[in-house]
A and B are shown apart, each in its own frame.
Chain A
Amino acid sequence: MHNDEGTIHAWLDGELPPAEAAALEAHVATCAECAALVAEARGVIAASSRILSSLDDVPGGVIPVSRDVPPSLKIERAAAPAGARARRTWWRNPQLAAAATVVAMALGTWTVMRQEPEVTSARVALDESVPASAPQLMDSGALTGAVPSASTTEAPKARTAPPVTAPVVASIPEPRAELARSAKSAERESANEVTTTERKAADAMAQGAGAAKAAPARASAEADEARRSRTRADMAASADSARVLGEVQAQVATPAAAPPASARQAPKSEAATLGGRAALAAPSMRCFDVRRTTEAEQRGVPATVQLVEMAGPVVPGRTLKVVVSSGGAGWFWERAADGGVLLLRVSGTTIEYETRITGIGAQAAVGTERPCTGM
């Protein structure tokens, strides 16, 4: 029996009960019509997320509604979070055109899939101008030729991820009454915290001084990491862009409903790395389930991600690449110095949030990966 679009979206959103999800997945594996619907739904989901993310570039004060707001809504207007004001400035940066590209990319993909929903094995044939957010169907072999990382063949099911570390942001102390102050201090707090872990980025809003201490000094043998470290230091010194609001650790787990065995193929090539420099003939992608802490979930970290080997927005000192996910917008990824994966929510050139997916390392990716189906 075929499935309606609502059910398919619920499945892709991870909202179906396990038994129902498994049944649907099994059906999709054998039903070309439903597989096409799933592909289309995936494209639509990605496209709508990207469209919505472009709405975030909104300045305040455009609509003078605050002057029309009932007194009850006018609280602490004067004490509005400084961070909120500061956030407005990033979009003035003329370098920023990447989000529009991403929107067009997702739409292009979606359009392609609408036109040819039956092309289940034609991903590698996609023109490079129709990038890698193409919905994934059954043929994981399409990853051939551009597989990031040094992972080897199989995709084992159960690699135990490290335990979840304590959420950082959720435990911010310093009680205070004013909400506005609270918001501001949350950002400051985050800036302080980033100095305490190995991969902390600078809080550029912190007037430069404290931020400079936070410049990461990641030791790495990777060539491009040297470049990244340098640019990060530059970023901290110039105190201009990155702002880490928080950092939690997420875990990667195997999917609750295992994809069909036919789709459980591992990437076939090790020709490229995720360093960001490899010139890829065609965009490649890898898919992961992310087991999230409560904090990560609240922060909107997607439950499933496709890490696409394709340049994301330009953020000084970072090498962001495209993430396609079924939930949340504005997410990108970056390969960490140690081979791990960082998920970042980016708004313009501002990194609003950054989290690390443990368990994805230079040598460990095979234990956490899943085929790009059923996401």
Chain B
Amino acid sequence: MDDRELERLFHLYHVPLVRYLTRRLGDRDWAEEVAQETFLRALRQERLTSERSWLFAVATNLVRDEARKDERRRRHLQLLAEEEKDRVVEPVVHDADRAREQALARRAVDALAEKDRLALLMKEEGLSYPEIAEALSLSVGSIGTTLSRARKRLAETYEAMHAEERRAAGGDHA
């Protein structure tokens, strides 16, 4: 693949791929890095037949492989990150309600089964059912069921967390 073709791919897919990875990983820098590695791997390909599903599949596998390889270390780093966040990283001053919503959303997404989560995130980036099926090695016929289950569980989990939080807040005031 030449640079021009790579550029075409980049312009078409960089934004959705980074958004997908950011939602998946919760860290934009990491998402950018994985996306770039994905595009570099694409550069090594002669040509891609299903380019969008290929890119999303490779990105997903990069994340998965790395996670497998270093899960224990990553947990440790996340703990360090929590500590470091207050000290080093730009202070988070965004709205408290918004932050709370985001935290709930993150927990709800993390609570999904991996396959459901990936399918849902890919769908949100505009991948078709056949593309999702190809990227995740699933049958096309199962994608509707996978997505319906993922969406429902996500909304239910989020709603339950919200309700729980409201109850807790109410209890605090009582």
Which A residues form the contact surface with B (CB < 8 A)?
Answer: 4-10, 13, 15, 41, 43-45, 47-49, 51-52, 54-70, 72-77, 80-81, 84, 87-88, 91-94, 96-97, 99-100, 103-104, 107, 110-111, 169-170, 172, 175-177, 179-180, 182-183, 186, 245, 295, 297-300, 327-329, 352-353
Contact = CB atoms under 8 A, between A and B. Distances in A.
B80 A64 contact: yes
A295 B18 CA distance: 17
Which 6 pairs between the two chains have the least Cβ-Cβ distance?
Answer: A6-B145, A10-B144, A60-B29, A6-B144, A60-B28, A100-B101
Interface centre among A177, A183, A329, A352, by most chain B C-beta atoms within 10 angstroms, is A183
A63 B81 contact: yes
B90 A59 contact: yes
Contacts, number: 243
Given A48-B151, A175-B7, A9 B144 contact: yes
B23 A52 contact: yes
Nearest to B101: A100
B11 A300 contact: no
A62 to B, nearest CB: 5
B30 A66 contact: yes
B12 interface: yes
Interface of B: 3-4, 6-8, 10-16, 18-19, 22-23, 25-30, 32-34, 36-37, 39-40, 52, 62, 66, 70, 73-74, 77-78, 80-81, 84-85, 89-90, 92-95, 97-98, 100-102, 105-106, 108-109, 120-121, 123-126, 128-129, 142-152, 154-155, 158-159, 162
29 contacts: A5-B152, A6-B148, A7-B144, A10-B147, A15-B143, A44-B155, A45-B151, A47-B154, A47-B158, A48-B120, A52-B23, A57-B98, A58-B26, A58-B28, A60-B28, A63-B77, A65-B29, A65-B74, A66-B29, A70-B66, A91-B94, A93-B94, A176-B3, A176-B7, A245-B15, A295-B12, A298-B16, A327-B123, A352-B15
> What DSSP secondary structure best describes chain B's contact surface?
helix
B94 A57 contact: yes
Nearest to A68: B77
